[in-house]
Every structure is written in C-alpha cells, then in structure tokens.
Homo-oligomer: A and B are copies of this chain.
Amino acid sequence: MPAYRAPLRDMRFVFDEVLDAYATLQSLPSQREFGNDLGGAILEEAAKLAENVLAPLNGPGDKQGCQYDPQSKAVKTPDGFPAAYKQFAEGGWTALACAPEFGGQGLPHVLNMMVEEMVCSANLSLGMYPGLTHGAINALTEHGTREQQDQYLPKLISGEWTGTMCLTEPQCGTDLGLIRTRALPQADGSYAISGTKIWITGGEHDLADNIAHLVLAKLPDAPDSVKGISLFLVPKFLEDGTRNPAFCGGLEHKMGIKGSATCVMNFEGARGWLIGEPNKGLKCMFTMMNSARLMVGMQGLGIAESAYQVSLGFAKERLQSRSLSGPKVADKPADPILVHPDVRRMLLRQKVMIEGCRALAYFTGMHLDVAHDHEDPQVRQQSDDLVQLLTPVVKAFLTDEGFNCANDGLQVLGGSGFTEDWGIEQLVRDCRITRIYEGTNGIQALDLVGRKLALGGGRAVRSYFALVEGWLKANADAPHAAAVGKALKQLQQATMWIATEGMKDPEQAGAASVPYLRLFALTTLAWFWSRMALTAQHKLAAGSSESAFYGAKLKSADFYMARVLTETDSLLAEVQAGKSSLMAFSEEEFAA
C-alpha cells in the first residue's frame, strides 16, 4: 500500500483561499491570534504524525485486532497502538480545541476537524479512542458541575484518560427510550449503575490510565420513554484508586475497524454521578452526539482521501491495454490504465466528491466556531442554524461518499483491490460502519427533514437558501452559477414538497428523507464547486504560478457539473414520488 500523504495544499486551498477562514476566525474573541502561520504549522505537524506514526499501524492493526482476556477482563489493543496513542496525547492533539482553563489549547474546532480528517485517513481505528473522548469532554463541559469538570476535564483533555459514550443496549440502539440500565440513588449522592451496554467503543483498552464512561440510565420511577433517561459519569477507577465494577464482558467481532475495541460493558452496581438534570439525559447525549456526528463525517472524508491516493497511484503504474486514441507510452508494453475513460471516471468521482465534501465540512466547522464564540448573538444564532442544518448532511453524505469512494477506488485496482495487499479492501470495511454509528444515515435524513427543516419554523433552511442565492446574485459570472441555480431550485421544490406533504403526513417526509438529504448535499457541493472554480479563476487571472493546481480545480468543477450533478433530476423525482409505493405493502407481501 502506498504511503498516505496528507493533502495539505488542498486543505489550505479550501480553508484559506475559498472560505477565507482565518479572517472569519480572527473576528472571534477567542481566536484573534489564530493566523496562517500558526494554523499552517499545526497542520504540518499533524500531517507528520498521521503519515509517520498512525498510518504505518493501520494495516497491522487490522490484521492483529484487539484481544480480550476473560480472566482479567482486560483488552489489549494492537501492537504499537499504546505507544502511538501516547505520542498523540503528549503532542497535545487531544487538547487542541479544548478549553484553556482545563488545559486545552483553545484552538478552533474547525482545525480539530481538519486534524481529524488526517487521523482518519491514516488510521481510523486508532483515531476512535481519542475521538470518543471528545464526546465525554463536551458533555462535561456543557453539563457537568464545576467539581466534576475540575476532576475529569484536565485528565481527559490531556489524554491521560479516555472517555466513552454508553448508549446502546441489546434491545435498543436508535430508540433510546427502551433502555433498561438502572441508576439507584445512594446515600452519598452517587448512584449505583446496573445494566449491560453494547457496541461501546473504547470501553476497555490499554491506552490510558482511566476511562470515564458516560452512561445513559434510568432513575427509579422514570417515565417509560426518552423523557425518562439520565446521563451518568462512571469512571473505571474511582478517585481512591479502587476498581469500579464496570467491566468489559467481551469484544464484538466486526467487519472492520478491528483495531478499535468495541466492547460489551457490564455495569454491576458501579458508582456513578449524575451529569446535568435528572431525566434530561437525552439533551446531554445530543451534546456528545452532535459534535460526534461531524467527526464521523470527517472519518468518511478521511477514508475517501486514502482510497483516492491508493487508486490514483495504482492507475498511474499499472500497465494494461492501449489507450483508445492510440498508444500513449509507446516504449512500454501497454499504457497505464489512467488513460482509459472509465478509470478516469472512477477516479474523478472520488476527487470531486472528496474536495467538495472537504469544502462543506470545513465550512460547517468554521461556523461551529462562530456559533460558539462570536460576540454578536445574532451572528452566533445564524451560524448555529447553519451547523445544525448541515450536521446530518455532513455525517450522512460524507460517510456514504466515503464508502462509494473506497469502492470506486477498489474497483480501479480490480483483483488487486480485493486482496489484502493494497489495503484498500480494509478502507471499504472500515468505512462501512461510519454510515451506521452515531445515528444511521437514515436517522440523519430523518433528523434533517424532521427537526432541522422545522428549526425556528423553517428559519435555518430559509437562511441557508438566502445565503446561496445571495452568493449567486453577487457572483452571477462564477463558473457554473447557472447549474448551481438550477439545482438550488430543485432543492427548493423538494423542500416545499416536504414542508407541504410532510406537515400533513410525517410518513411522506420519512419516505422522502434519504433522497432529499442527497439532493441537499449534491446541491451544496455544486455551490462549493462553483466557489472553488471562481477562486481558481481569480488566482489564475492574477498570474499564479500554480497553473496545474488551479487548472485542475476548474476542470474538476466541469466534471462535477457534467457527470455528478446530473443525479439531482432523479432525486427530485424520487422525493416527489411520495410514500404510496412504500407503504402499500403488507408485511406478508414483502415476502411474496
């Protein structure tokens, strides 16, 4: 497998040149000092870590997997993982965007997302451990008491400890109202937590000294729905060093991310402390979940980038047949397969999806920072609306396309791609889970059409449409502005259809949700491709010496419009097809 190289030039292009993100971030009180020099230096260091430390462990970690010892109930991660994690934590990477008052570096969230992209390109399994810790950090930061924060945040932020999110149980994943884990109040103000959780990433491992489990459980007499769940902090080791009875009962055997320990966790009257208010656990959970969803999107993007690099490298080297327009490398026995139109199609689909998704993700990440830190509450609100609206799109579309890119990449390699030798089949397997966890992509689509379109009575989506329309008006001469405008009209038609029909009948919105999310994403990517092409045009007009780089952006935008955006017609038709053909089937008829 060819070595992963972080796409720093392209990351800079999107962040700096297209989004002008430094200017936006510097308008925030917390980021006045955050400039090109600092940002660039951090990204370069992250790239080195990803390329040299994390990536080499990815293939071996997949082959070795994690081992569970039923005697000690301990989990051993793959060789090299503990040392690499230590290097990761000591380098300050766990602390990047965390609060300075608890030892964090206070750098922008979007920077953290950019680092996450590289980490996931290099080694998704290893990246899961610190990734999940961030959920715990966010929950404690937002909902913990000062005492809880003082006790846990510095250790979690430094990476000395890790965190988990313990939500799923055997009988419930998506429907958390069904959980059975119980929390009994104790005389000292703590709770005794009992129950079984499954699919707990990093529930047990050998990377850190302690693990802070954030556990959803029910108080006695809690209502029988999501309104009756509360969030508890359950550490592996208590303050006095005693082992809390929160044990790993085994590991899942999975299709991929085999270096990530996916644990069954048995809480056997373990001591825990309430986080936030009783019966408001779902709200706290969403604090963890929302940022986790953006991070899962970055996982999809990271995998796609790796797949592209592997398949492009192969296509340049592999000699098979001659170009249909005559030999291109006459002194070799055949031409590299990169000459063939359909190989180019598979590579360019990856390329434009990756770069378009990168722009969408960084844009969303930048607004996450604005939503947190801007001085003007109205600006904060606008950015928060955008982030809320775009989060399910980022999560679902970037992971769907991560999987598609990995598969297109594998297909470029042909039979070689199916063998373990090139590592790309691992990317396909690893990526598959990203479409499922932190809410399946179907759930993301329901979140978009149900919660997010309704946000502020449609305020979020209207303001997003106004943003794109305003840009199109101001940049009517931008490359492909007309195509963007046409797609936007289709998206607006689809939105109107859902607003009208879904109001009358929520199953109509459910039936439309997945094609609608895809239409939303493809339209948004069209906007970003138009913006990227415009930036490239300006750079070329200004006489940039990077003519291949900027020329490729213009050509990529052409490809996107000509051969990807074509899908919007079909998606709009599918949205408008409505629910009838889905709901007509009886259970019996599904098997007939």
A514 CB contact (under 8 Å) in B324, B345, B573: B345
Task: Tell me, in angstroms, the Cα distance from A172 to B343 when the chains sit together.
Answer: 16
User: A199 to chain B: which residues have CB within 8 Å?
Assistant: 415
Q: Which of A87-95, A231-239, A502-510 contacts B (4 or more CB under 8 A)?
A: A502-510
Task: Tell me, in angstroms, the Cα distance from A459 to B578 when the chains sit together.
Answer: 40
User: A446 to chain B: which residues have CB within 8 Å?
Assistant: 342
Question: What's the nearest-Cβ distance from chain B to residue A75, in Å?
Answer: 17
User: A178 to chain B: which residues have CB within 8 Å?
Assistant: 319-320, 333-334
Task: Tell me, in angstroms, the Cα distance from A324 to B333 when the chains sit together.
Answer: 62
Cβ of B312 and Cβ of A590 under 8 Å apart?
Answer: yes
Cβ of B420 and Cβ of A436 under 8 Å apart?
Answer: no
Cβ of A414 and Cβ of B174 under 8 Å apart?
Answer: yes
Cβ of B562 and Cβ of A566 under 8 Å apart?
Answer: no
User: A419 to chain B: which residues have CB within 8 Å?
Assistant: 252-255
Task: Tell me, in angstroms, the Cα distance from A256 to B429 when the chains sit together.
Answer: 11
A109: interface (CB < 8 Å): no
- Secondary structure type dominating chain A contacts: helix
A437 CB contact (under 8 Å) in B348, B415, B440, B511: B415
Interface string of A126-159 (1 = CB under 8 A from B): 0000000000000000000000000000000000
A173: interface (CB < 8 Å): yes
Task: Tell me, in angstroms, the Cα distance from A323 to B569 when the chains sit together.
Answer: 30
Interface string of A447-463 (1 = CB under 8 A from B): 00000000000000000
Interface string of A415-441 (1 = CB under 8 A from B): 101111100010011001101110011
Cβ of A590 and Cβ of B415 under 8 Å apart?
Answer: no
Interface members, chain A 305-351 (any B CB < 8 Å): 312, 316, 319-321, 323-325, 333-334, 338, 340-348, 351
Q: Which residues of A contact B (CB under 8 A)?
A: 168, 171-175, 177-178, 199, 252-256, 312, 316, 319-321, 323-325, 333-334, 338, 340-348, 351, 403, 407, 410-411, 414-415, 417-421, 425, 428-429, 432-433, 435-437, 440-442, 445-446, 505-507, 509-511, 513-514, 548-549, 551-553, 555, 558-559, 562-563, 566-570, 573-574, 577-592
15 A-B pairs in the complex with CB atoms less than 8 angstroms apart: A178-B333, A252-B419, A255-B419, A255-B425, A324-B509, A344-B583, A410-B432, A414-B436, A415-B433, A417-B436, A418-B433, A555-B585, A559-B582, A562-B577, A566-B577
Given contacts A324-B510, A325-B507, A343-B442, 7 further A-B contacts (CB under 8 A): A255-B419, A323-B507, A340-B510, A341-B510, A342-B514, A348-B582, A569-B569
